[in-house]
């Protein structure tokens, strides 16, 4: 049985995470999940398919499912606000030690834009760095934004100021001491797999390219034939923490 608690790391209604804690007599390793959705504010953790990762593993491990402010349908939000939410939300784990968490054993997982945010976070100076991380179909190289199926979203993320790109671009920042697995489908029509290969060319990562695999094929949707593969990879990473 897993208890799920909504906890706010900031004052805004979107600055929260959902902490799932299964019964355990020993401190629990943690999976931190960052959902994708092109950084759009309307795409939330309760509807994005990373929720299936939470549902699959919340009986075995603690889960910190992170929500954050995104790009509104009208108007703008600063890049710095989104990135600050991610860092603040992640580091809020240091305030949750009374929940029987093992902060020395953290796996960070993100999909698509969520993988961008997760890998951006790895380039930050963190008080508790994750031991391992997984990028699934990640937007890892913003310089290739014109190859995305919605390139305008990167321009919106950067507030139409391309000078902000190096700071926001995971491939320019690296992943610190964290062991990073980069997984991408060769038939991804949303985010090109060239982002994954370019990142792997520059940094020491475990790269897995999957044939006949689309953007959501690793999650249990209509095209989720690689869902079992994804579950096995997450389980293996948790066992190696």
């995470």: which residue's tokens? 17
35-86 pLDDT, tens digit each: 999 999 999 999 999 999 999 999 999 999 999 999 999 888 999 999 999 9
112-154 pLDDT, tens digit each: 999 999 999 999 999 999 999 999 999 999 999 999 999 999 9
What CA–CA distance (Å, rounded) separates 1 from 125?
35
Could you tell me the pLDDT band of residue 19, with boundaries at 50, 70 and 90?
A: very high
pLDDT at 75: 83
Residues 6 or more apart whose Cβ sits within 8 Å of residue 36 = 43, 48, 50, 110, 111, 112, 113, 114, 115, 116, 137
Q: Is 149 helix (H, G, I), strand (E, B) or coil?
A: coil
pLDDT at 3: 81
Torsion, Cα 228 231 233 235, to 10 degrees, reads -140
91-114 pLDDT, tens digit each: 999 999 889 999 999 999 999 999
Mean pLDDT of the residues in the chain: 96
* Stretch 3-15: mean pLDDT: 96
223 pLDDT exceeds 60?
Answer: no
pLDDT at 97: 85
* Stretch 198-224: mean pLDDT: 92
Task: Give the 3-state DSSP-derived string for 41-105, with helices as H, strands as E and coil as C.
Answer: CCCCCCCCCCHHHHHHHCCCCEEEEECCCCECCCCCCCHHHHHHHHHHHHHHHHHCHHHCEEEEE
Could you tell me the pLDDT band of residue 222, with boundaries at 50, 70 and 90?
A: low
160 pLDDT exceeds 70?
Answer: yes
Q: Which of 4, 34, 179 lies closest to 110, judged by CA?
A: 34
What CA–CA distance (Å, rounded) separates 84 from 80?
6
Question: How far is C-alpha 87 from the geometric centre of its chain's CA atoms?
Answer: 12
Superfamily of domain 2-239, CATH level 4: Alpha/Beta hydrolase fold, catalytic domain (3.40.50.1820)
pLDDT at 224: 67
Helix axes 113-122, 79-91, angle to 10 degrees: 70
Question: 101 forms bridges with which residues in the sheet?
Answer: 28
């Amino acid at each position: 049985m897993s208890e799920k608690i909504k906890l706010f790391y900031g004052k805004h209604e979107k600055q929260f995470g959902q902490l799932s804690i299964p019964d355990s007599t020993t401190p629990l390793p943690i999976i931190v999940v960052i959902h994708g959705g092109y950084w759009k504010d309307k795409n939330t953790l309760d509807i994005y398919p990373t929720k299936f990762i939470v549902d699959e593993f919340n009986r075995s491990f603690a889960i910190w499912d992170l929500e954050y402010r995104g790009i509104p349908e009208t108007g703008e939000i600063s890049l710095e606000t989104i990135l600050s939410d991610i860092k603040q939300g992640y580091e809020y784990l240091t305030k949750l030690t009374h929940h029987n968490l093992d902060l020395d054993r953290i796996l960070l997982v993100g999909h698509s834009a969520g993988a961008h945010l997760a890998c951006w976070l790895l380039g930050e100076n963190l008080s508790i760095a994750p031991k391992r991380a997984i990028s699934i179909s990640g937007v890892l190289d913003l310089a290739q934004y014109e190859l995305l199926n919605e390139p305008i979203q990167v321009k919106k993320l950067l507030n139409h100021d391309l000078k902000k790109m190096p700071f926001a671009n995971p491939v320019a920042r690296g992943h610190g001491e964290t062991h990073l697995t980069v997984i991408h489908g060769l038939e991804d029509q949303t985010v090109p797999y060239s982002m994954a290969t370019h990142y792997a060319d520059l940094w020491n990562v475990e790269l897995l390219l999957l044939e006949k695999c689309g953007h959501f094929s690793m999650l249990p949707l209509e095209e989720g034939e690689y869902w079992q593969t994804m579950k096995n990879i997450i389980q293996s990473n948790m066992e190696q923490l």
